Amino acid sequence: MLLSSWIATALGACAALAQDSPEPQTPKLTYLYTLIAELNSSIEIGTGIYSDRKAIPIIGGSFSGPRLNGTVLDLGADWGLTDQMGVFHPDTRYNLRTDDGANIYIQTSGSAQPNGKIYLRQIFETGSKDYYWLNNVVSVGVLTPGEGSVTIEGWTMDL
């Protein structure tokens, strides 16, 4: 009986707190860049322990945005998986070099969508003082496939 009274009191307190809580703030997206990555022919790895995997070499390209511009280096690939439902899930690791010489490592993952686009989570890593802020952003991208290349519109999240 004591336990049921305690549970009822706790639930009542939680309900009261929920009613007094302000509406959460909706995050805003800030445009980061447009990136065009040039691709080489894919290398079929085959169906393994995780699913059907292929490697797609990333061999160059460019990016530009309000706070950074530069080239995509010929250093990296997408080691994506196609799951049992036929949905492609990219898994990329590649490098960028800004026009002023900073090197930025980028890693993306995500899922293909019914509209033909791929929604990405983007993680950046750099030791550059000028671009160190990239290490701490929450970033998303929308990838549009092309012939021999892909275009990614990148965004950062802000409150």
**Average pLDDT for runs of 10 along the chain of length 159:** 60 60 93 99 94 97 99 98 95 99 99 98 99 99 98 97
What pLDDT sits at residue 69? 99
Whole-angstrom Cα distance, residue 106 to residue 126? 9
Q: Is residue 12 part of a domain?
A: no
| Any domain includes 123 | yes
Domain presence at residue 10: no
pLDDT of residue 14: 57
The domain of 84 spans 25-158
- Specify the number of domains making up the chain: 1
The answer to whether residue 45 sits within a structural domain is yes
Closest CA to 34 of 71, 7, 54, 63: 63
Give the pLDDT confidence score for residue 85 in this predicted structure.
93
Report yes or no on 20 lying in a domain.
no
pTM: 0.85
Q: Is residue 15 part of a domain?
A: no
User: Would you say residue 7 lies in a domain?
Assistant: no
User: The CATH number of the domain where 135 resides is what?
Assistant: 2.40.160.20
In this predicted structure, what is the pLDDT of residue 15?
Answer: 59
Tokens standing for residue 132: 């160190």
In a domain, 119, yes or no: yes
**pLDDT in the model for residue 64:** 99
In three-state secondary structure terms, 7 is helix
So what's the pLDDT on residue 140? 99
